[in-house]
Amino acid sequence: MWIFMLLLLLLGAQVNVSWFAATPVGQAPPPIWVGGRFLWPYVQGSRTLVPQTGFGALLTVVLAGGSGVLFLLAAAALLRWWVPAAWFTPLVVAGAIMSIALQIIYISGWAVFPLLVDAVLLWAVLGLHWTVISLRG
């Protein structure tokens, strides 16, 4: 099961940091064989709930980068690399909350997949009480 959790964490990080490589307006989305809009759901110039100027732009950068970093740190904790195992659950929860906030800002049909990943991660750590110890032994 730890491999499944690792893949979910990496998938969550990928979807959120893909904001930094948003598809330009008018350009075709990435091909489906590399994930298409499922893994790259953002398009520059999209209508958002928070204006993408000033504080709104800063908030989006913090949410996209922060959630990606938190998911990667949780993956490192799961792999027992540099990050204490005790930080695993708080990292997953904080990353998922930031990711959900980012998806709400960019709400569209393409936000469903990232929200599903966040829901599964939260369910795993809060509902099933998965920890590094329970996953890795």
pLDDT, one tens digit per residue, over 2-55 is: 999 999 999 999 999 998 888 788 888 778 777 777 777 777 877 888 887 889
Sole residue written with tokens 């540099």: 82
Given pLDDT bands bounded at 50, 70 and 90, which one contains residue 81? Answer: very high
CB 93 within 8 A of CB 125: yes
Sole residue written with tokens 């100027």: 53
pLDDT, residue 96, reads 98
pLDDT, residue 94, reads 98
What are the residues facing 43 on neighbouring strands?
23
CB 105 within 8 A of CB 50: yes
Which of 128, 120, 130 has its CA nearest to residue 8? Answer: 120
CB 105 within 8 A of CB 49: yes
CB 9 within 8 A of CB 124: no
Higher pLDDT, 53 or 86: 86
Q: What is the pTM of this model?
A: 0.91
Which of 109, 12, 7, 20 has its CA nearest to residue 62? Answer: 20
pLDDT, averaged across the chain: 90
pLDDT, residue 62, reads 97
CB 74 within 8 A of CB 9: yes
Residues constituting the chain: 137
pLDDT, residue 112, reads 92
Supply 19's token pair: 């904001």
Given pLDDT bands bounded at 50, 70 and 90, which one contains residue 124? Answer: very high
